[in-house]
Structure 1
Amino acid sequence: MIISVKEVKKYICCVLIPLLVGYLSSILAQAISGVDTITYYHELIKPGFAPPGIVFPVVWTVLYILMGTSSYIILSQRRNETKIKDAMFYFWAQLGLNFLWSILFFGFQLRLTALVDLILLFAFVLIMVYKFYKIKPIAAYLNIPYILWLIYAIVLNYFIWFINK
């Protein structure tokens, strides 16, 4: 199977968009708070199951690549444009909620509001995964690590909010 240059560019674009959204969210959060997110995270009182701050950029990079790959798979389907547009609506909505989380949690230090955002994000990701599954199951499966990470993130965000009230 030969892959065209056009398809390679499309794939790179699909992967770069979530990576850039995550990076810009982090930069904006730091600009708003005036504190590096790793420093802010380090200074919080955290539960014993909280990972070291260095884990987050690694995990999110992998998740953004998987997210972008799954969107590429969906956008590459040649049938049922209505289903694809519907599924991609949820992709873009969850990406927007994802973007907001760092700004809320780190930038404005609104940990409870960030938790609400995370719960909404989780709901949108579940809907997105369901819609991706109806179009191309592998695109849904690529988001299973994202779902698992969000469950962990919700629990972690809750305990950080509760402990640091």
Structure 2
Amino acid sequence: MSHAFYTSRILPYAAIISKMCRLYTNSQADFEDYYQEVCLQIWRSRDNYQGKSEWSTWVYRLSLNVCLTQLKQDQKTRKVIVTELPLNESVEDQQVYSDEDLNELYVAIKKLSEIDRTIILLYLEKKPYKEVATILDSNAKNIAVRVQRIKSRLKDLLENKIEIYK
């Protein structure tokens, strides 16, 4: 991978990649592996970008696909689902954010299905439903309905904090 490609096509989108990878990992080591794999796949797939959407939309979609693939591979080898780690392991690794409420939100988000995690991340990033639908190969109306259901689920989880950590 050339330095020019990295600085122009990956580095400006590092926050997107980081947020996506953080949603699907519970440790710094896993995060770094996922992040590296996403960057590698962006470089490998760069010629497949056809310009039908924004580069950022393509990066989101590719990041999601890589993270979901990695998650499935990890689950097969470890025989454990990341959201079911004991409290002392998962919360320790999630103390990336200084605000306790934000940490609780991310713990609750990790209780959601893989796709719902992505939808709510993109919603929190203020992405239009149409762009979210493009990333997830869905339609905007479906995304709008799912966002409302996800918000309701998160509200329930956050109101019952004890259950978040189960």
TM over 0.5: no
Which one has more relative contact order, counting CA pairs under 8 Å at least 6 apart? 1
Using structure 2 for the length normalisation, give the TM-score: 0.31
